Amino acid sequence: MAENLPVDASAQDLTVKRAQVDFHNFASLGQPERVLAAYAEENARRAGILAGNLDAAASLSPFLEIGANAGHSSYMLANRFGAAGFALDISADALRHGRFLRTAWRLEKSPVLVAGDATRLPFRDSSLAFVMSFQMLSQFMDVEAVFREVHRVLAPGGAYFFAEEPIRRALTLRLYRAPYPDRMNRIERALHRWGLLDFIAADVIGAWQEESFGIRQNHRYGLRDWLGLIGRYFTGSRVLTFPRACGWANAAVVHALRLYPGFTDARATRFLGGTIAALCRKPGQLPPSLSVEEALACPDCLAALPWNPALLECRQCGFSARAEGEVFHLLPSRLREELYPGVRPDNIDFSKPGHEEALIDGFHELEGEFGNKYRWIGTKARVRLKPSRPGRATLRLQGFSPNLAKIELRCNGSPLGTRRLTRTGLFVIETPLPEAPEHVIEILASPAFQPENDARTLTVNFSLIRLQY
């Protein structure tokens, strides 16, 4: 078998990739009605920008969406614009849950669903006419690594459309990391409503909560940085900026800037931050012969991967991938093994059948829907994990708490420490473990509560418990 070339680990390390797989599986359609409304709003916004700038793209087929999550914008491109192509995300489960959109929105066309990595795209050189991505570049420490891959897979004359990426704000003291608006206290909500919170925010509001889940954020790019990056890879680009102008404090800055000749949104965005959208054209003339069937490449050796709707096989190195729930796993083999370990004694994924075997006691019945599967515990629960490889491991617990809970952990009777949550909602706990042939993990949580019309005593719930190496 050919050498399994690694993805660019400097752009996004393995722990972040794991966090993205776990988070997107949990959040993609965990609350279907609420999420579908958000997806519909995003699609309307993105389709509006694209429809007003179609002359900047020679063709929309074959297309690729990177970081597609549930694939909602790919479904939009296929059904509203009649394009054919691929929705790619590192989370296969998020893509799989997204098939629910077809029923909910009564869609006729679907993209090809691909689990893949943005720094190692499983596509042939110059094979695509159109690539798009939204809210995903800022999750890479080296954004240029993604640009290089996009430039590689785009055919001459092809277009890259990215949007909703943060522009670094100049007018801020960077003193305070603010939560999402729906998690703010009364004072924070008032400052946010007035626009004053932006002047002391250390980062994009709410970014720290994704970071607490393990997803690193790169919000270092100012407008000049984005323009410089675009200019290194593309020509004839069309750039739109959307300054953050909510609240009277931000509006006052915009009003002051309007007094200067040649005012533009770009000038306001340099000072106030906001988001950028761009349609970027690769030099050259688009070939007429591009097709979905000839676009894929082996993720291990990048040889052409002949199209088959049920099974993809590389004739050069032997890589193969079946359509599992309509999703092709086209991650490099070693990365796929790390991110998708399956049912193993060191991995308790509550969304997968068979996880029950590792539960000893203290867990209530399985709840949730789609990727949001979880079990509540009372004040105490135990699981058994067995390492799948030698060496020290790290214990990772992923869950949800409606309260500012205290969680104490023990391993084989020895204390691992106590974590006091600083906010409600999703949480992740990671702690190193001593080497042992087996780990009996004891979880003690408080305070307990009893829901209305429910006889159970509850504290927190868990969706994932695993060993990481």
Clarify whether residues 86 and 162 are in a common domain: yes
**CATH code for the domain of 447:** 2.60.120.260
Residue 312 lies in a domain: no
Clarify whether residues 189 and 61 are in a common domain: yes
Clarify whether residues 252 and 103 are in a common domain: yes
Which of 294, 315, 330 is a domain's end point? 294
Clarify whether residues 370 and 290 are in a common domain: no
pLDDT at 26 (0 to 100): 66
Clarify whether residues 242 and 154 are in a common domain: yes
pLDDT at 369 (0 to 100): 75
> How many C-beta neighbours within 10 Å does residue 28 have?
26
Residue 33 lies in a domain: yes
Residue 387 lies in a domain: yes
Clarify whether residues 190 and 122 are in a common domain: yes
pLDDT at 299 (0 to 100): 97
Q: How far apart, in whole angstroms, are the C-alpha atoms of residue 380 and residue 393?
A: 23
Which of 279, 294, 309 is a domain's end point? 294
- Residue 446 belongs to what domain range? 347-468
Clarify whether residues 237 and 376 are in a common domain: no
Clarify whether residues 361 and 260 are in a common domain: no
Clarify whether residues 359 and 287 are in a common domain: no
**Cα dist. 216→85, 139, 211, 296, 352 in Å?**
29, 6, 5, 29, 26
**φ, ψ dihedrals at 28, nearest 5°:** -60, -45
Q: Number of structural domains, the chain?
A: 2
**CATH code for the domain of 81:** 3.40.50.150
Clarify whether residues 224 and 359 are in a common domain: no
Residue 242 lies in a domain: yes
Residue 310 lies in a domain: no
Q: How far apart, in whole angstroms, are the C-alpha atoms of residue 378 and residue 398?
A: 16
Clarify whether residues 149 and 272 are in a common domain: yes
Counting as low any pLDDT under 50, the low residues of the chain are: 1-6
Which of 253, 278, 294 is a domain's end point? 294
Residue 2 lies in a domain: no
Residue 334 lies in a domain: no
Residue 342 lies in a domain: no
H or E segment at 150?
helix 143-153
Q: Give the chain's length.
A: 469
Clarify whether residues 397 and 287 are in a common domain: no
Q: pTM value?
A: 0.87
